Structure 1
């Protein structure tokens, strides 16, 4: 099995290659310059990590991998990158932001290899804005996922409330708020509140006006 990192040559690329090679030793990890992306036009790559901060055209490559049901992660250091919203519509497995800590990076990739999605919190403002455009006001909340109080907490999270504001709004302690959020993250199998909000919006359990 193979992981490909498409990124221009740099010290950071070599560090990333070393980290992934050591952590995912069952995979053959390779690096490819964006100008040589034709090397990736086969179906032998299981996970493609694409740095979108490049002048090279990466859209056809990403579409090729989507069409072949491969995992795709895009990577950027620009949270306002003009291609982000279009790439978000493709519902890729990963949206990474430059500067992620090693532990967070490894944990995110492991989740993606298990079929889950990861979106870095720095990219959330733009992506949440895209959800407002994509989804209508129809809410479809399933039965048995959250308790009544967890639904209330989750609704306030989608509105950007801090723990303290949730505490004041619901007349519960900060510790109780943290317990509810921990339970929500566990049930949704997501690493943080940002991904929890994006998950419930994607499932149309809430609508953000």
Structure 2
């Protein structure tokens, strides 16, 4: 409780508005408990709820929240399918999925769908709040899950390796946007976030957001790995020092 209240105080002192959330779970009692826990922090404001996938899509379309916290096992449409539909219509919305199982194939699908976090359904309240805090700041703690679970990590890496060597899949699947490729090329050239922001005439925070998105899409841990991954596949080209020599 003390850490939760400390978070709330720090956010209020910084003048940060509460993050709007839509809760999606088949059980009203679960939603009520989670809503109470989130609301009392002062950081989050639950603006809507849904008990199934179709209703979730309608509520999100209507309310356009900052974040959706959703159960994977929903009546009717699976939560992952709902998440895909939401991300297609509202790319800016950050989605946290609660699952009864930590299945590597599901995590792969979640990463490719742009899910920010994929956590156990029985996660401790304090841990969930920490995860939501990370998501709120534009991070993708789904990568932490990959790193912390060897079995999940193996399945995720195998899936992405297969995707890399499968030419047909690679031609269809373009993981990085043109702007993200621009950012990554500048990273590869050794530019700082500040220099990248100046070069592309965007804010430093936007650069950070692009880099977080790149790491999440490529399922890598840092900027160097992202550069190597992209260069090996021919997505970016960085001239060697000799190339520019006269």
What TM-score, normalized by structure 1, do the two folds share? 0.58
8 Å CA contact 1:71, 1:93 repeated in 2: yes
> How far apart in 2 are the matches of 1:4 and 1:10?
13
> How far apart in 2 are the matches of 1:100 and 1:93?
16
> Are positions 1:55 and 2:75 aligned together?
yes
Change (3 A) 1:116 1:52: same
Aligned to 1:31: 49
Aligned to 1:46: 66
8 Å CA contact 2:27, 2:51 repeated in 1: yes
Structure 1, 87-96 or 105-114: larger mean CA deviation: 87-96
Please give the per-residue CA displacement for 1:47-87, whole angstroms capped at 9, x wherever unaligned: 01110112321455323432322111111011238644322
User: Which residue of 207, 213, 221 corresponds with 1:199?
Assistant: 221
Please give the per-residue CA displacement for 1:125-158, whole angstroms capped at 9, x wherever unaligned: 2354122221459xxx978xxxxxxxxxxxxxxx
What's the CA shift for 1:198? 5.7
> Are positions 1:126 and 2:152 aligned together?
yes
> How far apart in 2 are the matches of 1:201 and 1:128?
21
Please give the per-residue CA displacement for 1:98-130, whole angstroms capped at 9, x wherever unaligned: 221222111110110110011364766235412
RMSD (CA atoms): 3.6
Aligned to 1:79: 102
Find the residue that maps to 2:101 and give its secondary structure.
coil
Alignment map for 1:82-161 (pairs within 5 Å): 83-119=106-142, 121=145, 125-135=151-161
8 Å CA contact 1:200, 1:206 repeated in 2: no
Alignment map for 1:145-184 (pairs within 5 Å): none
> How far apart in 1 are the matches of 2:85 and 2:102?
25
What's the CA shift for 1:23? 1.5
- Aligned length in residues: 155
8 Å CA contact 1:6, 1:50 repeated in 2: yes
Ranked by relative contact order (alpha carbons within 8 Å, sequence separation 6 or more), the top structure is: 1
8 Å CA contact 1:21, 1:29 repeated in 2: no
Higher Rg: 2
8 Å CA contact 2:104, 2:155 repeated in 1: no
What's the CA shift for 1:4? 0.7
What are the ranges of 5 or more consecutive residues in structure 1 without an aligned counterpart?
A: 144-196
What are the ranges of 5 or more consecutive residues in structure 2 without an aligned counterpart?
A: 1-18, 166-186, 191-218, 230-246
